[in-house]
A and B are shown apart, each in its own frame.
Chain A
Amino acid sequence: MNTPAAQPCIWVHVTTLMNWSRPPVGIVRVEQEYCRWLLEVGGAASDQVRFCVADLATGSFAEVGREAVLAKLRPAAEATPSQRPQLAGWKRSVKRMLQALIPYLPAPLVPRLRSSARLAYHHLLLTRVRAAGVVSGAIRAVRGGGDHSSAPAVAPFAPGDRLVSLGLDWEYVDQKVLYRLKERLGLKTTLICYDVIPALFPHLVVLPPGGFGAYLVDMAWCADAVLCISEHTRRDCEAVLRRLGAPVPPTHVIRLGSEIPMGQGDGVAPQGLALHSDGRPFVLFVSTLERRKNHEILYRAWTRLRERGIVPYRLVFVGMQGWGVTDLMNDLELDPRIQQDIVRLNHVTDAELDWLYRQCAFTVFPSLYEGWGLPLVESLARGRFCLASNAASLPEAGGPWAEYLDPWDLPAWVERLAHYMQNPREIAALNERISREFVAPRWSDTAAAIHEVVLSAQPGRGER
């Protein structure tokens, strides 16, 4: 249902946000912070802003009221760090059971399982939203499933409107529908590329159904402007699109915010760490345990340190177990050399994470590829030096504040880790300097930069 408007609207696609019920991960955070900025800071500019969700089942878009979006933003804005939204008991049990199964499932099943779960939740959400009368009548106009590419797309957009989408579009958006709407209405679209890992290193990720290449290329066809979260991502994204023969829309680099609201007090020591406490300092690695993150190199480095007779700092892995690390998990469980050294923590609270950052000697981030490297920047934002991989965007993310090593150069990791463990004063000095001088990018600046691109996006400026 098109609403006549004096000025073109800016539509913010928020299906991801409206579906999300957990603490925000990076992608959700971007969508969330942009919405928050529009609604709470954007002032006059937000008058033209409206929100929409997509429905894959009907191939349609529908408007979502501001109150509904604000309601989704509110818990994160108002809750204390420890007040996380909790699933009901039985749902939490089912979810944990499924998560525990993931390492044992055939790789191709994992994305389907995740996607099916998300989509099921998405439809449940839409049903609730419709029942509450939040979604406009437009969404009811089209029913039925299947390929909607040749059906007239239903959406509340008007000719000349702008659309920005920052979320999990590969799961929630039928790009044929979006392209058709764009062609029909002259929508000026701004989309985002977080990374092109599945195209460059498909062996390191679980591919989403439908194939990442198909998503990326259709994203390029639909976008008048593409936001990239680093220069490296911009280069890789453009290179992949050119390689595939797709159009290359204008790309714009935005810096993700990373200011951290440090909790009051010293936080709370995680129980799992306290059990292994022997007074040694520890090194922190905050990341899902998956192949791409390269926990492997740290495990090997710690065994080498032991073999050299060095009593190393403890190593704390914080994150849930992901895909492709079954053998590593067995090694961590069974290798007697590192039983007193490597600690795995999962489900840590914000207060516990706060404590971990305050107490760690330094952090490590040996990832094989990142589109940006938020954990590295967050480490710096918390005043902790990071020994990081030199791959992809990480040197760009950490700048002069971190030290970079080839992620596969085991001797180099062993040497630098031993060096810092044997020179704690050097680490202390680095941490002190970072605390004093490093200024974390602010989310409000990120949102303002996104908005500037959204307002400037124009069709026909790309490279064909």
Chain B
Amino acid sequence: MTRLRILVLGSYPAVHPRHGGQIRLAHLVAAYRARGWDVRQASFFPAHAFYMDAGTGPADVGLPHAQLQAWQGHAAPLIEDLASGDLVAGDEQKIERLEGFAGKVDVVHLEQPWLLPVVQQLRDRGALGPFSLVYGSQNVEHPLKRAIFEQYQVANGEPLLAGIEALERQCAQQASLVAAVTDEDAAVISGWTQAPVVSAANGVSPWQSDGATRSRWQARLGDEPFALYVASAHPPNVIGFCESFGESLASLSPLQKVVLAGSVAEHILKSDWFKSWGPLNQRRIFDAGVLADADLSALRDLAHAFVLPMVSGGGSNLKTAEALYTGKHVVATPHALRGFEAFCGLPGLQVVQPGPGFGKAVWSTLTQPLPPADAQALARRQALTWDKTLAPLCDAVAALEAVPV
């Protein structure tokens, strides 16, 4: 058996990952390398400070924001991802540099559909040799983009949405293997392709917090049990929180609170939902902001409960995996549990529809002791680590070796 050579193409840097998509990409690369394969990774993304300041990989390319505002003649906001594929594919220098970096490969793993035009260029030019395409879907993207367009009232988005759906279908059709993050997404994509579609859910990197950091946060937060919500500013994370708790956070007692960690906090606090009962909600929120890993680990270990208030968005939620992994109380909407349905019944997990019942469930968990330690549940939770969740994908890629291209 020869050593498999893989080029992983992504739409954000995989080094120093911060948001969920980056974390999945980084773990994907690590999982392939753990199999002993020769993995090279390159990403093309808008040159936002969020990415550029955090550091990029040797073949990563930040794209000028101004050139990502239109796709095939349709100008619109929030389409930098879609626009990036054509921009890179049409840039001879960037393609040549990528070819030089990748060398000959057996497999190109395309994470998310946006760079399919680049893959097509690479295949047409032949410099990489014949390769199999693995399409890594993180979401069924076009309905997600539709929801974002609606939230931000983007007009005339239909051609763009049609373009995204077409791109996703082409990815599935051209792929020798597709990875989905939930069974639900896998079912949708299976309808577009004859290729095998495997489910490889998002996972968890076990963490450990240090006593000094925990003490510091304990002093800031007090002794009352609190619920933790960790999320990025991704719009469904904001919408989900606001909709899941009903009209306000009044279901929490005067001593209870939800600690917001991550960039979601800023957006929740600015939302009309929050401001309409501002002082009431403010009394029940602690804005921890964007945190370093050590702080986030401390908060996870101090939290009495986790809230997963998702009502929209595709894919599976990294934060769901992390919350389930803790063995603490978890109050989740059915949507937040997408991809983790097998974990229903874990001690401490409550799946609650958005609305008044959600807040009451959070109140209730904060009045109860932590779920009892349970060996069987512990074993089930171990299946949430990245090495376990990505194993089906790695196995399927290994099987591609024998497949003629």
Nearest Cβ distance between residue A234 and chain B, in whole angstroms? 18
List the B side residues contacting A243 at CB < 8 Å. 247
If A150-B224, A210-B279, A214-B279 touch, whether A245 touches B253 (CB-CB below 8 Å) is no
A245 touches which of B222, B251, B255, B279 (Cβ 8 Å): B251
Contact with A along B117-154 (1 / 0, CB 8 A): 00000000000000000000000000000000000000
Complex-state Cα separation, A245 to B252, whole angstroms: 9
List the B side residues contacting A211 at CB < 8 Å. 277-280
Q: Does A161 contact B (CB under 8 A)?
A: no
Q: How many residues of A contact B (CB 8 A)?
A: 22
Pairwise interchain contact B255-A179, C-beta atoms closer than 8 A? yes
List the B side residues contacting A138 at CB < 8 Å. none
Pairwise interchain contact B250-A246, C-beta atoms closer than 8 A? yes
Q: Does B283 contact A (CB under 8 A)?
A: yes
If A176-B254, A176-B255, A221-B254 touch, whether A213 touches B223 (CB-CB below 8 Å) is no
Pairwise interchain contact A217-B247, C-beta atoms closer than 8 A? no
Pairwise interchain contact A180-B280, C-beta atoms closer than 8 A? no
Q: Does B359 contact A (CB under 8 A)?
A: yes
Q: Does B360 contact A (CB under 8 A)?
A: yes
Nearest Cβ distance between residue A9 and chain B, in whole angstroms? 24
Q: Does A88 contact B (CB under 8 A)?
A: no
Pairwise interchain contact B222-A244, C-beta atoms closer than 8 A? no
Contact with B along A13-35 (1 / 0, CB 8 A): 00000000000000000000000
List the A side residues contacting B250 at CB < 8 Å. 213, 217, 220, 241, 244-246
Nearest Cβ distance between residue B250 and chain A, in whole angstroms? 4
Complex-state Cα separation, A81 to B276, whole angstroms: 45
Nearest Cβ distance between residue A85 and chain B, in whole angstroms? 34
Pairwise interchain contact B248-A150, C-beta atoms closer than 8 A? no
Nearest Cβ distance between residue A20 and chain B, in whole angstroms? 26
Nearest Cβ distance between residue B295 and chain A, in whole angstroms? 20
Nearest Cβ distance between residue A462 and chain B, in whole angstroms? 12
Complex-state Cα separation, A217 to B248, whole angstroms: 10
Q: Does B114 contact A (CB under 8 A)?
A: no
Q: Does A403 contact B (CB under 8 A)?
A: no
- Which residues 166-199 of A sit at the B interface, judged by CB distance below 8 A? 175-176, 179-180, 183
Q: Does A425 contact B (CB under 8 A)?
A: no
- Which residues 129-188 of A sit at the B interface, judged by CB distance below 8 A? 149-150, 175-176, 179-180, 183
Besides A176-B283, A213-B280, 20 new A-B residue pairs in contact (Cβ under 8 A), listed by A number: A149-B255, A175-B254, A176-B255, A180-B255, A183-B255, A211-B278, A211-B279, A213-B248, A213-B250, A213-B277, A214-B277, A217-B248, A217-B280, A244-B250, A244-B277, A244-B280, A245-B246, A245-B247, A245-B249, A245-B251
Complex A-B: 7 CB contacts under 8 Å: A149-B222, A175-B254, A213-B277, A213-B280, A218-B283, A245-B247, A245-B248
The 8 nearest A-B residue pairs measured at CB: A211-B279, A150-B222, A246-B250, A244-B250, A214-B280, A214-B279, A245-B251, A217-B250
